[in-house]
Amino acid sequence: MSSPSMTLSHSPTSPFVRKVMVLLHETGQLDRVTLQPTQATPTTSDAELNRRNPAGKIPALRLADGNVLHDSRVILDYLDQQHVGDPLIPLQGPARWRRLTLASLADAILDAAVLIRYESFLRPPDKRWEQWQQGQQAKIERALQQFENEAIAELACHFDIAAISVACALGYLDLRQPESNWRQRYPQLADWYAEVSQRPSMQATQPPA
């Protein structure tokens, strides 16, 4: 086993970090990364994280040469180029743009769900804005609908960047919106998720309840 050469700013509940962890598992690169526990919210300030990523967001990945990559999509792209197996992000052609677009839609679910979480968990009750939350929730529903109606076969064909991103988004909904009953509204997505949740990479990265 080689000694770790990279450091990942990490939280076990961050779904963006989870995407990175799942890719590390799937591509056999876990032993290359040290995990640095990091708390990140818009109302907390972590000086070290802010130095690594001025946006103050995780994940951020410090490379062996001291350079830092941030934004989960950039990190996934980088790590996918560091292993010898089949790429989890197609290198070129229409497949690349389609898979990245599906991954981006999954990230949009996460962006909305994380904002809803901050709104309900961090923002003082008298400053909350119901209509804004509903707008975020509507984004989540439209994205789930598109995955259910138009992309199930594509998700099922390969556990790649698109599938990893959707699986992590669904896992985050289970964590933060356990009452949402998305499985009832999106049964094909539910069946697909039940299957991919069994993968060792998904099992090993389950967020703590």
Cα separations in angstroms, 197 against 91, 102, 118, 133, 157? 26, 19, 26, 28, 15
- Residue 20 burial (CB count, 10 A): 25
Query: Which of 10, 14, 24, 165 touches ligand GSH by CB under 6 A?
Result: 14
97 or 118: CB nearest ligand GSH: 118
Write out the H or E segment, with its range, that includes residue 33.
strand 33-37
The answer to whether 71 contacts ligand GSH (rule: CB under 6 A) is yes
Nearer to ligand GSH, 104 or 149 (CB): 104
Return the closest-CA partner of residue 103 out of 151, 66, 53: 151
165 binds ligand GSH (CB under 6 A): no
* Sole window of 13-21, 98-106, 152-160, 186-194 interacting with ligand GSH (rule: CB under 6 A): 13-21
- Of 17 and 189, the one with the shorter C-beta distance to ligand GSH is 17
Choose among 186, 181, 162: nearest CA to 196.
162
Q: One symbol per residue from 42 to 61: x for binding ligand GSH (CB under 6 A), - otherwise; what is it?
A: x-------------xxxx--
Q: Which stretch binds ligand GSH (CB under 6 A): 38-46, 77-85, 144-152, 159-167?
A: 38-46
**Residue 41, interface with ligand GSH (CB under 6 A)?**
yes
- Return the sign of the alpha-carbon dihedral for residues 179, 103, 163, 10: negative
Q: Which stretch binds ligand GSH (CB under 6 A): 34-42, 85-93, 120-128, 180-188?
A: 34-42
Q: Which residues pair with 33 in a beta bridge?
A: 6
| Nearest to 61, CA basis, from 80, 35, 100 | 35
Binding track over 111-140 against ligand GSH, x by CB under 6 A: ---x--------------------------
**HSE-up (13 A, CA, CB side) for residue 178:** 2
Q: Please report, as a single letter, which amino acid is at residue 130.
A: E
Tokens of 173: 């909904």
Q: Is 201 in the site for ligand GSH (CB under 6 A)?
A: no
State the nearest-atom distance from the C-beta of 192 to ligand GSH, in Å: 22
Stretches 39-47, 128-136, 138-146, 175-183: which one binds ligand GSH (CB under 6 A)? 39-47
Query: CA-to-CA distance for 13 and 82, rounded, in angstroms?
Result: 25
Token digits for 31?
């032993």
Q: Could you list the residues that contact ligand GSH (CB under 6 A)?
A: 14-16, 40-42, 56-59, 71-73, 107, 114
